[in-house]
């Protein structure tokens, strides 16, 4: 691109940090603002980015103050009256959303995009790993830190580009996929969309952006409008017979599974995914389907043996079914689940992994609006556990809403449930009799993981 400097507003976000890392790799000067310091920000700073944490025009480095040399990228989570955003706009800088920039960078690529209100991070990361391990090709912009790549940015040979297509603020409508996967389209981000039907309409618009001759891989049973006849449409599921599914699924050691992966023209027998949980089998089916479709369209190969080996070596995504303690007497895991359907799937998956054992769910609700809109569904999901502990709502970009609290959820949970402050969580769990413990949430509950692991590991 024609500019030398890239300034990020919200540089510490998982999607923004991948873009920042890309431009650092391209030799651009990178700087930016974020509200809070984080490990992602620390890594970017170590790689050469200049980052500050107070909203102040005075903190913008001098070299980034020339509109002829600097482009500004912001996340929609940054308010429109943010002092630095207002300053850049008022002085004629080119200012773009993260989704616009991702759209620019995907031009000329063979885009493999994964959309869904849940499941998209693991599925897109699986696609990136299958591209690399089974096909030796591909780059990726991911919504989580891949354990195989130790990054949310993958740079590789060839035209394939795996991306997580985010529905927040309709960001995914900037992409034109060659292969699109849709994992789910549940009610979410209703503060933006208003209604579930508007969410579904946005996903239909995303499907409509698939390039002619491309392919859609969509979850079996998901009913969305598909108006582009020039694409191939395939259905996938966990174990329901359709175009792509798993059969002969059997639980093996450590919560892992062995299964046969069925495609339209072959069966990959005795697959073992490198991460546990039945929900990840479903994600692996979707990812393998995307690779199969890509091979039909870009001339690549779909080698069953190499796909099988790549599935086995997949190490997962940080904060997705991440084990901290795993002994016969005590298990502790952490997971990013923050939507009711996602939370219910994760809890039932853990229950299947450890049959007959007692599950304690630790959950931090994310966003006041999501809690307001879905508190009954959250309570229903948490009631699948044997006991629940809730933290106060993590606000992220939002201001509090009067009357909206974690107690709205707790009062409807049908198993023993308490609400504690985040600072008290580890001490509270220390006093509990526990067996299998999982912490859930997209806020800052992960800051408790090391303390929880230290306490619970003593019981193993």
Q: Name 247's bridge partners.
A: 260
> Residue 144's pLDDT is what?
87
> Does the pLDDT value for residue 390 go beyond 90?
yes
| Angstrom distance (rounded) from CA 108 to CA 125 | 21
64 CA to centre of own chain: 31
> Does the pLDDT value for residue 435 go beyond 80?
yes
> Residue 190's pLDDT is what?
62
Domains defined along the chain, listed by start: 5-97 (3.40.50.720), 108-312 (3.40.1190.10), 322-457 (3.90.190.20)
Nearest one of 205, 284, 200, 176 to 237, comparing CA atoms: 284
User: 442 falls in which pLDDT band (50, 70, 90)?
Assistant: confident
Q: Would you say 276 and 295 are in contact if contact means Cβ atoms under 8 Å apart?
A: no
> Residue 252's pLDDT is what?
86
> Residue 160's pLDDT is what?
96
User: 305 falls in which pLDDT band (50, 70, 90)?
Assistant: very high
pLDDT in tens, 84-106: 999 999 999 999 998 889 889 99
Record the pTM.
Answer: 0.80
* Least reliable range by pLDDT among 120-129, 275-284, 361-370: 275-284
Q: What is the mean pLDDT of the chain?
A: 91
> Does the pLDDT value for residue 451 go beyond 80?
yes
Q: Would you say 203 and 182 are in contact if contact means Cβ atoms under 8 Å apart?
A: yes
Strands of the sheet with 70-74, listed across from one edge = 50-52, 29-33, 5-9, 70-74, 94-97
- CA distances (Å), origin 351, targets 48, 168, 438: 44, 30, 11
Q: Which residue has the tokens 């024609």?
A: 2
User: 187 falls in which pLDDT band (50, 70, 90)?
Assistant: low
Q: Would you say 193 and 205 are in contact if contact means Cβ atoms under 8 Å apart?
A: no
User: 377 falls in which pLDDT band (50, 70, 90)?
Assistant: very high
> Does the pLDDT value for residue 83 go beyond 90?
yes
> Residue 139's pLDDT is what?
95
> Does the pLDDT value for residue 120 go beyond 90?
no
With left for phi above 0 and alpha for psi between -120 and 50, is residue 158 left, alpha or beta? Answer: left
| Tally of CA atoms within 13 A in the half-sphere of 160 that contains its CB | 28
Number of H helices, E strands in the chain: 14, 21
Strands (E), 57-159: 70-74, 94-97, 110-115, 139-146, 151-154
> Residue 5's pLDDT is what?
96
> Does the pLDDT value for residue 460 go beyond 70?
no
> Does the pLDDT value for residue 1 go beyond 70?
no
> Residue 249's pLDDT is what?
94
The Cβ of residue 64 has, within 10 Å, a number of other Cβ atoms equal to: 22
Helix (H) or strand (E) holding 440: strand 436-440
> Does the pLDDT value for residue 180 go beyond 80?
yes
pLDDT in tens, 205-241: 999 999 999 999 999 998 899 999 899 999 999 999 9
> Does the pLDDT value for residue 58 go beyond 70?
yes
> Does the pLDDT value for residue 37 go beyond 90?
no
Nearest one of 338, 420, 320 to 382, comparing CA atoms: 338
> Does the pLDDT value for residue 162 go beyond 70?
yes
* Least reliable range by pLDDT among 216-220, 287-291, 406-410, 447-451: 447-451
> Does the pLDDT value for residue 320 go beyond 90?
no
> Does the pLDDT value for residue 373 go beyond 80?
yes
- Average pLDDT of the segment spanning 256-279: 92
């Amino acid at each position: 691109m024609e500019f030398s400097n890239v300034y990020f507003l919200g540089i510490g976000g998982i999607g923004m940090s991948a873009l920042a890392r890309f431009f650092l790799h391209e030799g651009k000067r990178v700087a930016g603002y974020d509200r809070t310091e984080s490990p992602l920000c620390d890594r970017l700073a170590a790689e050469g980015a200049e980052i500050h944490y107070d909203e102040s025009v005075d903190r913008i480095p001098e070299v980034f103050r020339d509109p002829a040399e600097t482009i500004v990228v912001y996340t929609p989570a940054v308010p429109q009256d943010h002092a630095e955003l207002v300053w850049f706009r008022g002085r004629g800088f080119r200012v773009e959303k993260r989704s616009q920039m991702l759209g620019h960078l995907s031009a000329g690529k063979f885009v493999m995009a994964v959309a869904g209100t849940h499941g998209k991070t693991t599925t897109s990361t699986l696609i990136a790993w299958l591209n690399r391990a089974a096909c030796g090709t591909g780059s990726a912009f991911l919504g989580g830190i891949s354990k195989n790549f130790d990054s949310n940015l993958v740079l590789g040979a060839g035209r394939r580009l795996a991306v997580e297509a985010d529905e927040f603020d309709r960001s995914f409508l900037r992409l034109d996929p060659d292969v699109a996967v849709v994992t789910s389209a549940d009610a979410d981000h209703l503060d933006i969309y208003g209604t579930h039907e508007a969410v579904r309409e946005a996903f239909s618009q995303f499907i409509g952006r698939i390039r002619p001759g491309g392919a859609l891989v969509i979850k079996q049973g998901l009913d969305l409008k598909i108006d582009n006849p020039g694409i191939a449409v395939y259905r996938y599921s966990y174990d329901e017979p359709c175009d792509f599914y798993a059969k002969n699924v059997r639980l093996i050691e450590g919560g892992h599974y062995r299964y046969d992966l069925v495609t339209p023209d072959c069966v990959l027998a005795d697959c073992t995914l490198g991460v546990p949980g039945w929900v990840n089998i479903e994600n692996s089916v979707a990812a393998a389907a995307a690779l199969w479709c890509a091979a039909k369209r870009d001339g690549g190969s779909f080698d069953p043996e190499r796909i099988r080996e790549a599935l086995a070596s997949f190490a997962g995504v940080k904060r997705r079914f991440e084990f901290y303690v795993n002994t016969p007497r005590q298990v502790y895991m952490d997971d990013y689940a923050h939507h009711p359907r996602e939370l219910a799937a994760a809890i039932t998956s853990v229950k299947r992994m450890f049959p007959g054992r007692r599950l304690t769910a630790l959950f931090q609700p994310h966003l006041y609006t999501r809690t307001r809109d879905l508190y009954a569904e959250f309570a229903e999901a948490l009631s699948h556990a044997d006991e629940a502990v809730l933290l106060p709502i993590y606000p992220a970009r939002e201001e509090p809403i009067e009357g909206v609290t974690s107690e709205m959820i707790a009062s409807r949970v049908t198993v023993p449930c308490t609400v504690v402050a985040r600072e008290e969580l580890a001490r509270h769990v220390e006093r509990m009799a526990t067996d299998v413990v999982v912490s859930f949430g997209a806020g800052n509950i992960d800051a408790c993981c090391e303390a929880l692991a230290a306490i619970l590991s003593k019981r193993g």
